[in-house]
Chain A
């Protein structure tokens, strides 16, 4: 986050900052969010709580948003639908937990969390290489199905392999980092290694201070650190996509035969993209575990984990890297608003409090409105998510970000904003700040 400071730097820095003004603004909003949430819910009470997701929900959104981006990295840019992407998410998550529990051969239990995270990513990349060897012989529906098949194999194994959970507990119930009796034992340190002020323990029992500031809430510190990691991953993926390598990926999506005819070894590029996206997918899994501390097959290797990344990618815009991230926020927002999937508010408690009792008790065929609200607006997020998804596929198939780009007539919203800002503040903006 230090890049926000507009100190007197070399000329390229000013230019760089001006080119990334939208990114900086969005990062600033994310940084301010936990305080904003507290302020707004204090100020506007239940109306704000109804619309805004809690900071804790935002934590999972960050990790799963990164997963959606990594899914889009291969599926949206090379056109190969990686339908078993959950495999990599699960590998990352399980690697961190099992590594911490000292169950992985050659990996000592006391390894720092950051190393575990990166190692998990590398393991996922190797797994992607092996999966790719089989599945890149095919394309289209076959590719989607064979990746799905392999991830289902991993799902079944993670559901049954009792090595994962030493002792007697059922592997399908999931596994916690550290002994279950010792809550708070798992304290992953996230940050830049060897720079003390930039490190902190993540998790519900983690540190409350970061960079010397006392936030008084480990949730906020975790939010910042995980957010910084997600930002870093995003920038790395974006860099790759804008590199010549990324251009070849897009060429493969548009016309693989032609890319091959020009002389590119498309197999290598596809494999590279698949491995990179597996790496970041595993990082996302590890980051989720960093805060939650436990993982189970349903939330890692399961087919619907990929499913929701896909939904997020379509809503945000397939083939736009940031799109799936915002798509996931949108999706999660809708689920929380209409179904109270998160722990926050939602429409139902709002209606319950604001509608007069007479309305709530109106009887509709053996059912009061209050009961109906309870039945249809709690815990059925998939229902609304599915309908919204179908509507997007039918009417906005290029997604939110894709539509925005089309409306603005640009291939990059960030560039567009920078240009507009530069136009408006032309003379003052072109000089480095003195």
Chain B
């Protein structure tokens, strides 16, 4: 796995530590990636925290969001709109995707998931897993049938997707030591927005209070007259919508491919992040996203400089983090005793 030029490793690392430009580039990239990971896993952690539902269909929701965003980017001709117009339409698309997938989430929760609350939590895994394979195959059918990207569901959909992203996003900006692309800036901004938004939702709104009460003690919350069922539906809707928004963000990023396997490519790291952070802890998820983002950026750097020549290093490292974390701290960074244990 190690390049023949392996003795350079130490030299490379010394170079890295002594060059602020390189270092800051990795930090910015890590922040951007961490923001993306946060957006991917926020919905999952929200749903798990309250409902004890590990939502296997989460990745499929993100994949649908990405496809819709791709269709909108190409269909609206966003590329020729100019920067502000493009950003505006992307924002509108994001809002629509959120509403659409939230509606899908409501339907799933009311029609399917609600029926299984009395069952052991494993049945939730089973149900959402079944939904995930069905949704993925449905998208595969749509892609083949409508001849989207010549029916190639396994290849990144439509290279013009990248071209229709405003070119301002790809250009590199400098600020002191830091150099970053517009896209990275937007990713970080949305990551912060997601964090602040969810934090405010949980801590500052009345509904967030219900959610936290439900997490704390479902029976007691019910006894105090909180409509837990409606809270569950709302949280599932918000979580699904967030998954969709993450999909829109991924569609803007050339590093991610908009295709059917995206569902799994999103789902697995999201699981890792939620578990590393500690099941049910939003703070933990945020910290773990940053951690995984940083390590991912470091891995990318190592690969680009040729220190390591293992193509799927990032995946290996992400799952490596999971295994190491569970050995050191079985319940994750901020995990709570008892959560997710039974069943």
Interface-lining segment among B88-96, B167-175, B324-332: B324-332
Q: Pick from A79, A142, A386: contact of B137, CB below 8 A.
A: A386
Q: Are A382 and B340 in contact (CB under 8 A)?
A: no
Q: Are B115 and A394 in contact (CB under 8 A)?
A: yes
Q: How far is the CA of A110 from the CA of B136 in the complex (A)?
A: 44
Q: Are A383 and B123 in contact (CB under 8 A)?
A: no
Tell me, yes or no, whether B322 is within 8 Å of chain A by CB.
Answer: yes
Tell me, yes or no, whether A242 is within 8 Å of chain B by CB.
Answer: no
Q: Are A390 and B123 in contact (CB under 8 A)?
A: no
- Chain A residues with Cβ below 8 Å from B133 are 304, 307, 382-383, 385-386, 389
Q: How far is the CA of A2 from the CA of B166 in the complex (A)?
A: 73
Minimum distance in angstroms from B300 CB to a CB of chain A: 15
Q: How far is the CA of A308 from the CA of B322 in the complex (A)?
A: 24
Interface-lining segment among A19-27, A155-163, A221-229: A155-163
Q: Are B130 and A141 in contact (CB under 8 A)?
A: no
Chain A window 354-385, contacts with chain B (Cβ cutoff 8 Å), 1 for yes, 0 for no: 00000000000000000000011000111101
Q: Are B323 and A142 in contact (CB under 8 A)?
A: no
Interface-lining segment among B99-107, B138-146, B290-298: B138-146
Q: Are A142 and B331 in contact (CB under 8 A)?
A: yes
Tell me, yes or no, whether B271 is within 8 Å of chain A by CB.
Answer: yes
Given contacts A390-B130, A393-B127, contact A149 B112 (CB under 8 A): no
Q: Are A382 and B327 in contact (CB under 8 A)?
A: no
Interface-lining segment among B7-15, B178-186, B312-320: B312-320
Minimum distance in angstroms from A270 CB to a CB of chain B: 15
Tell me, yes or no, whether B225 is within 8 Å of chain A by CB.
Answer: no
Q: Which residue of B lies closest to A311 (CB)?
A: B130
Tell me, yes or no, whether A192 is within 8 Å of chain B by CB.
Answer: no
Tell me, yes or no, whether A5 is within 8 Å of chain B by CB.
Answer: no
- Chain B residues with Cβ below 8 Å from A385 are 133
Q: Are B141 and A375 in contact (CB under 8 A)?
A: yes
- Chain A residues with Cβ below 8 Å from B327 are 134
Minimum distance in angstroms from B120 CB to a CB of chain A: 9
Tell me, yes or no, whether A148 is within 8 Å of chain B by CB.
Answer: yes
Q: How far is the CA of A146 from the CA of B133 in the complex (A)?
A: 21
Minimum distance in angstroms from A362 CB to a CB of chain B: 18
Tell me, yes or no, whether A71 is within 8 Å of chain B by CB.
Answer: no
Q: Are A134 and B121 in contact (CB under 8 A)?
A: no
Given contacts A138-B330, A140-B121, A376-B141, contact A386 B341 (CB under 8 A): no
Tell me, yes or no, whether A396 is within 8 Å of chain B by CB.
Answer: no
Q: Pick from B121, B131, B144: contact of A375, CB below 8 A.
A: B144
Q: Pick from A134, A141, A160, A375: contact of B310, CB below 8 A.
A: A160
Q: How far is the CA of A383 from the CA of B139 in the complex (A)?
A: 10
Q: Are A393 and B341 in contact (CB under 8 A)?
A: no
Tell me, yes or no, whether A310 is within 8 Å of chain B by CB.
Answer: yes
Given contacts A140-B340, A382-B134, A386-B137, contact A314 B319 (CB under 8 A): no
Given contacts A144-B125, A393-B123, contact A139 B134 (CB under 8 A): no
Q: Are B129 and A307 in contact (CB under 8 A)?
A: yes
Q: Are B326 and A146 in contact (CB under 8 A)?
A: yes
Tell me, yes or no, whether A8 is within 8 Å of chain B by CB.
Answer: no
Minimum distance in angstroms from B322 CB to a CB of chain A: 4
Q: Are B323 and A397 in contact (CB under 8 A)?
A: no
Q: Are B319 and A153 in contact (CB under 8 A)?
A: yes
Given contacts A386-B137, A394-B116, contact A310 B126 (CB under 8 A): yes
Q: Are B312 and A394 in contact (CB under 8 A)?
A: no
Q: Pick from A145, A156, A304, A383: contact of B134, CB below 8 A.
A: A383
Minimum distance in angstroms from B314 CB to a CB of chain A: 9
Q: Are A141 and B323 in contact (CB under 8 A)?
A: no
Q: Which residue of A lies closest to B52 (CB)?
A: A141
Given contacts A141-B340, A380-B140, contact A397 B315 (CB under 8 A): no
Q: Pick from A160, A381, A393: contact of B126, CB below 8 A.
A: A393
Minimum distance in angstroms from B343 CB to a CB of chain A: 5
- Chain A residues with Cβ below 8 Å from B288 are none
Q: Are B323 and A380 in contact (CB under 8 A)?
A: no
Q: How far is the CA of A142 from the CA of B320 in the complex (A)?
A: 15
Chain A window 294-307, contacts with chain B (Cβ cutoff 8 Å), 1 for yes, 0 for no: 00000000011001
Q: Which residue of B lies closest to A376 (CB)?
A: B141
Tell me, yes or no, whether A59 is within 8 Å of chain B by CB.
Answer: no
Tell me, yes or no, whether A81 is within 8 Å of chain B by CB.
Answer: yes
A137-179 with Cβ < 8 A to chain B: 137-142, 144-146, 148-150, 152-153, 156-157, 159-161
- Chain B residues with Cβ below 8 Å from A152 are 268, 315, 319
Chain A window 389-407, contacts with chain B (Cβ cutoff 8 Å), 1 for yes, 0 for no: 1100110010000000000
Q: Are A393 and B330 in contact (CB under 8 A)?
A: no
Tell me, yes or no, whether B275 is within 8 Å of chain A by CB.
Answer: yes
Q: Which residue of A lies closest to B111 (CB)?
A: A394
Minimum distance in angstroms from B277 CB to a CB of chain A: 12
Chain B window 261-272, contacts with chain A (Cβ cutoff 8 Å), 1 for yes, 0 for no: 000100010011
Chain A window 117-153, contacts with chain B (Cβ cutoff 8 Å), 1 for yes, 0 for no: 0000000000000000011011111101110111011
Given contacts A153-B323, A375-B144, A393-B123, contact A142 B279 (CB under 8 A): yes
Q: How far is the CA of A394 from the CA of B116 in the complex (A)?
A: 7
Q: Which residue of B lies closest to A150 (CB)?
A: B323
- Chain A residues with Cβ below 8 Å from B340 are 140-142
- Chain A residues with Cβ below 8 Å from B343 are 79, 140-141
New A-B pairs, 4, CB < 8 Å, besides A142-B340, A382-B136, A383-B137: A140-B340, A149-B323, A156-B319, A390-B130
Q: Tell me the A residues contacting B by CB distance below 8 Å.
A: 79, 81, 134-135, 137-142, 144-146, 148-150, 152-153, 156-157, 159-161, 303-304, 307, 310-311, 314, 375-376, 380-383, 385-387, 389-390, 393-394, 397
Q: Tell me the B residues contacting A by CB distance below 8 Å.
A: 1, 54, 112, 115-116, 119, 121-123, 125-127, 129-138, 140-141, 144-145, 264, 268, 271-272, 275, 279, 310-312, 315-316, 319-320, 322-323, 326-327, 330-331, 340-343
Q: Can you spell out 22 A-B residue pairs with CB atoms less than 8 angstroms apart?
A: A81-B122, A137-B330, A139-B341, A140-B342, A141-B343, A142-B326, A149-B326, A153-B323, A159-B312, A161-B1, A307-B129, A307-B133, A310-B126, A375-B141, A382-B140, A383-B134, A383-B141, A387-B130, A389-B130, A390-B112, A394-B116, A397-B123
